[in-house]
Amino acid sequence: MARDDLFRLLIQARAIPPGSRVTKARGDKEYRLVREIKVYVEGGEPRTMTAEGGAVFLMQENGTGNVVDGSTLLIWIVERYTLVNYLDPPPDPK
């Protein structure tokens, strides 16, 4: 993918779609933004942790992460096509 096809948008965490690549507003480390995570416990059922109140999880590739408030400004790293569909979604084909 060409760098021309990537945009960096400063936006509140709660407005970024789950699964998106982000960085903190003043950082370079990339995270994956998610709204829920599954925690697997030895000998038990997996537990789902859901971020509430607009909060989101920022997950690193190694599986560690943290939670930030939904009003936190993050840099959304987004492809041109995804950004266009986010700003002007196609009509629902009902």
Contact predicate 79/5, CB 8 Å: yes
Q: Which domain holds residue 62?
A: 3-80
> pLDDT averaged over the chain?
90
Query: What CATH number has the domain bearing residue 62?
Result: 2.30.30
Q: What is the pLDDT of residues 60-89, one digit of tens each?
A: 999 899 999 999 999 999 998 888 888 888
Q: Is residue 26 part of a domain?
A: yes
Q: What pLDDT score does 15 carry?
A: 94
Q: What pLDDT score does 90 carry?
A: 80
- Return the C-alpha torsion angle 73, 75, 78, 83, nearest 10: 40
Q: What is the DSSP letter of 8?
A: E
Q: Is residue 90 part of a domain?
A: no
pTM of the model: 0.83
Give the total number of structural domains in the chain. 1
Q: What is the pLDDT of residues 27-60, one digit of tens each?
A: 999 999 999 999 888 888 889 999 888 899 999 9
- Distance separating alpha carbons of residues 16 and 12, to the nearest angstrom: 7
CB-based contacts of 51, cutoff 8 Å, min separation 6: 34, 35, 36, 57, 67
